[in-house]
């Protein structure tokens, strides 16, 4: 391609300050270096994680920065040492990676790559500690190694999943973060058997993906737990059959669920990050075989306690990272689930905006009006 090895000038939505609207700028995107690929982003979507770090809540602010990590695009060029990707490949960049060499990548039980595990503090590429983005010579920070709010971006090849070129990128782009996190928490970690009951704590995008996993697994009852009653009607589309609002009860939610289910649900998935919800999710599963899975990210100083008898009575508490999916190995398979009509993605997509109006996507999420907003880069 004519751009191979050349600097590309393109549009990017740059966050100059915490909490301030993104500004459309012309940026320079350097060629990919060793083990990197440069991708033309066609569609990206907004995840709550982007908003959290844009607001600079609870972590070191790093600006100016190009956010974005749920996206789909086409490889424009590859750097030295990249053998599994080539220009023209349809790909999804992912916020975490799979180097293929570390103990985690060699383990069937883990997806937490030593080299490419998510790093929200790093604003540069790991090969040389430099940014591939700049404006008039001034470096612009990367975000979780993806920075998809740019028409072109550079990503480590271990964070790039090659997918079926027939898959519509404006739909499957959402697979690269929240959808897979929730879906895998249910299918890979909670593993409900057909006919079992599942409680989902938090009915945002990740919780709805967890409910979708329960639907796919054939759960007989899917109980959604959320403080916002407006979410229940939407949740029905994802297989949620019953709804519990903790504010409607004068007893602990775990007790309410135990009474509803003759002793507790078979599985629960917590998707809020609330310590209280984590306790409730663990203590609402049935003794003997109940499994609770924690997905939500707590604040750094949080801690919770539960009586040891809950463990001795054979309840199991697990955690998960990115739904236990290995990005390069497993994400193409999720795309195939969609292509085979086993997984529904359209119902997660509530809004679409052109790239020039990307700040509308932030408005929709901040107002709680969207599940996923697709941002069309060419518009």
Give the residue numbers marked as catalytic: 47-49, 69-70, 99, 102, 105, 113, 117, 177, 372
CB neighbours of residue 320 within 10 Å: 20
Q: Which of 40, 59, 41 is nearest to 49 (CA)?
A: 59
**Spatial distance between the Cα atoms of 132 and 125, rounded to a whole number of angstroms:** 8
Q: Which of 104, 173, 168 is nearest to 361 (CA)?
A: 173
* Cα–Cα–Cα angle for 262, 266, 267, rounded to 5 degrees: 135
Provide the sign of the torsion angle of the four alpha carbons 178, 179, 182, 184, taken in this order: negative
Place of tokens 């916020």: 95
Give residue 35's region: left, alpha or beta (phi > 0; psi -120 to 50).
left
Helices then strands, each counted (H, E), the chain: 11, 17
State how far the alpha carbon of 203 is from the alpha carbons of 75, 175, 371, in Å: 34, 17, 10
Q: Which of 233, 88, 60 is nearest to 165 (CA)?
A: 88
**Spatial distance between the Cα atoms of 322 and 111, rounded to a whole number of angstroms:** 8
DSSP label at residue 59 = S
**Spatial distance between the Cα atoms of 354 and 376, rounded to a whole number of angstroms:** 5
Residue 332 contacts residue 162 (beta carbons within 8 Å): yes
Joined tokens for residue 66: 């190009």
Instruction: Specify burial of residue 39 (Cβ count, 10 A radius: 0-12, 13-18, 19+).
Output: buried
Task: Give Cα 124 distance to the centre of its chain.
Answer: 21
């Amino acid at each position: 391609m004519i751009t191979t090895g050349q600097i590309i000038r393109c549009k990017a939505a740059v966050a100059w300050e915490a909490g301030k609207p993104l500004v459309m700028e012309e940026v320079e995107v350097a060629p990919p270096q060793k083990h990197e690929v440069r991708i033309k982003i066609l569609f990206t979507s907004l995840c709550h994680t982007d908003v959290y770090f844009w607001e600079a809540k609870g972590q070191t602010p790093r600006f100016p920065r190009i956010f974005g990590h749920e996206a789909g695009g086409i490889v424009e060029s590859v750097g030295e040492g990249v053998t599994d990707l080539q220009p023209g490949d349809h790909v999804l960049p992912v916020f975490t990676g799979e180097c293929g060499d570390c103990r985690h990548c060699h383990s069937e039980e883990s997806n937490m790559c030593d080299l490419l595990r998510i790093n929200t503090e790093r604003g540069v590429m790991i090969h040389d500690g430099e940014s591939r983005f700049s404006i008039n010579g001034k470096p612009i920070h990367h975000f979780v190694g993806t920075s998809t709010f740019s028409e072109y971006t550079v990503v480590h090849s271990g964070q790039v999943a090659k997918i079926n070129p027939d898959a519509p990128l404006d739909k499957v782009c959402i697979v690269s973060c929240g959808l897979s996190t929730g879906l895998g928490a249910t299918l890979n970690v909670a593993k409900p058997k057909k006919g079992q009951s599942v409680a989902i704590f938090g009915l945002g995008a990740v919780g709805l993906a967890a409910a979708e996993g329960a639907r796919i697994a054939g759960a007989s009852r899917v109980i959604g737990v959320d403080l916002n009653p407006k979410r229940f009607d939407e949740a029905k589309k994802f297989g949620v059959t019953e709804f519990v609002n903790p504010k409607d009860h004068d007893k602990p939610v775990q007790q309410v669920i135990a009474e509803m289910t003759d002793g507790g649900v078979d599985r629960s998935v917590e998707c809020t990050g609330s310590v209280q919800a984590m306790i409730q999710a663990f203590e609402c599963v049935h003794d003997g075989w109940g499994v609770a899975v924690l997905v939500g990210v707590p604040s750094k100083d949080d801690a919770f306690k539960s009586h040891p008898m809950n463990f001795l009575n054979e309840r199991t508490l697990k955690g998960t990272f990115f739904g236990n999916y290995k990005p390069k190995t497993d994400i193409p398979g999720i795309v195939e689930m969609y292509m085979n009509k086993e997984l529904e993605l359209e119902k997660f997509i509530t809004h679409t905006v052109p790239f020039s109006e990307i700040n509308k996507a932030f408005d929709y999420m901040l107002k709680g009006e969207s599940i996923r907003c697709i941002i069309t880069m060419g518009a």
